[in-house]
Amino acid sequence: MAYIPHTDADRSAMLATIGARSIDELFEGIPASVRLARPLDFPARSEFEVDRYFEERAAENRVYTPGRSFLGAGAYAHFTPAAVLHLVQRGEFMTCYTPYQAEVSQGTLQMIFEFQSHMCALTGLDVANASLYDGATALCEAVAMAVRHTRERVVYIPELLLPAYREVCEAQLVGLDVELRTIPARGALTDWAAIQDIGKAAAVVIATPNRLGGIEDGRAARALANRFGALLIACVNPTSLAILAAPSEYGADIAVGEAQPLGLPLSFGGPYAGFFTCKRELIRKMPGRIVGRTKDAQGRDGFVLTLQAREQHIRRDKATSNICTNQGLFAALATMYLTFVGREGLVEVAETSLLRTSRLAARLVAETPISRYESNAPHFHEVALRLPISSAKFLAEMRDTAGILAGFDLSRWGYDANLLLVNCTELVTERDIDAYVAAARAILARRENGAV
């Protein structure tokens, strides 16, 4: 979009229209401590000079091809078919908003309906909404729904939940006076037996795979929820559901997660799309909106918004959520991805990711001084490793000497400084694993000689 400059007279007229004395008055709600108190260090330049400036800044980025990155920790690089990326850029889909005029929006409404159908098929639960902002806000909405349903305020969340998910819950649930209690970990798995509390609770959350890649015991989580008369909320990776038990199989009432693994680009951390499914009896308390299929006067299939429990409509203060839209564009991308990949293709993606991760971990343990952290824990496509040097130093050496982004430094989540989380997806080949192991072996050999 072109920049249209305003004259002093234009600015004065606009300020007078809205009743403001100055432009600074428009920003009084922002604390002075976080406002920029100096002009931007970007003098006026010609158009080609501005282009050159940003090209030079972009060239400072370090770019890792898929086979050179083993970083996961909540966002995962998967292959997206070219047809998906082409179709999702069509003008019909270039919006995040749910369409309200069904008569002119049948394509988008059908796409959302298919997204809901895919999510129900993956989780095994009865109904899905039209998507949420991301996985963290989907979990927050699930907790709020459980509180509304049970009228209890205590919620049990595992220590092994991704930290960002807990932080979002803590921030958004302040107004509901929810008490978040932690279920401790034992190594790379949740210690469900450690909770000896008595009383009632709104929900128990299970994160599987958890933040260390471990596959949790869904039946143990269901048993704990039963003790408290609570709902069981499963926070899951949708790709893993191609080969792991669906949340419905271990009795989850609600299943949520991040749709990013379903073909969404990493995009420097977002935006993404959250999914939300639940049992039919909870449908009236579900946040957001649902697209349904019906028949028109001529008996033809049609798609409409069948449930909209949001604050902009007649419910107002009785609304179940203040969510303002769904991530329609990214839900469309995930839907196209699942349609192109298909059931068997998603199984292949999940199995290949698991096998590549197992292969990398096994070779590192066999050929270097690296060991598994809690080697008895079953995992999906991430695994925690213990290094003989600090993770930060190892990552820096792998980056600078081999051009490999070798994983996630778990000390950033409060773990020991020598713990590393590595992830493989189907984009990692055997040759990539060979390169990783060879580089790690060389770095750790230099360490034994005192060079690292």
> pLDDT-based confidence at 403, cuts 50/70/90?
very high
In the block, tokens 């299939």 appear at 301
Pairing between strand 127-128 and 154-158? unpaired
Numbers of helices and strands, H then E, in the chain: 10, 15
pTM comes to 0.88
- Res 93 pLDDT > 90: no
Among the ranges given (88-97, 129-138, 247-256), the one the predictor scored with the smallest mean pLDDT? 88-97
Give the C-alpha separation, 424 to 364, whole Å: 14
Give the C-alpha separation, 448 to 452, whole Å: 8
Give the C-alpha separation, 190 to 192, whole Å: 6
- Res 254 pLDDT > 60: yes
Structural domains of the chain sorted by starting position, each given as residue range(s) with its CATH number in brackets: 67-77+342-448 (3.90.1150.10), 82-338 (3.40.640.10)
pLDDT in tens, 126-176: 999 999 999 999 999 999 999 999 999 999 999 999 999 999 999 999 888
- DSSP string covering 122-160, please? HH--SEE-S-BS-HHHHHHHHHHHHHHHH---EEEEETT
Instruction: Pick the more confident residue, 426 or 8.
Output: 426
Give the C-alpha separation, 69 to 433, whole Å: 11
Pairing between strand 154-158 and 203-208? parallel
Q: What is the predicted pLDDT for the residue at 1?
A: 44
**CA-angle at 187, arms to 250 and 218, nearest 5°:** 0
> pLDDT-based confidence at 316, cuts 50/70/90?
low
Q: What is the predicted pLDDT for the residue at 176?
A: 87
Which of 358, 385, 389, 354 has the alpha carbon at shortest distance from 372? 385
Instruction: Pick the more confident residue, 350 or 316.
Output: 350
Q: What is the predicted pLDDT for the residue at 2?
A: 54
Give the C-alpha separation, 276 to 259, whole Å: 10
> What residues contact 82, with CB distance under 8 A and at least 6 apart?
none
H or E segment and range at residue 15: helix 8-18
Mean pLDDT of the chain: 91
Q: What is the predicted pLDDT for the residue at 98?
A: 65
> pLDDT-based confidence at 186, cuts 50/70/90?
very high
Question: Helix %, strand %, coil % for the chain, to 5?
Answer: 45, 15, 40
Alpha-carbon distances, residue 356 vs 3, 99, 149, 316, 362 (angstroms): 49, 41, 42, 50, 10
Q: What is the predicted pLDDT for the residue at 418?
A: 97
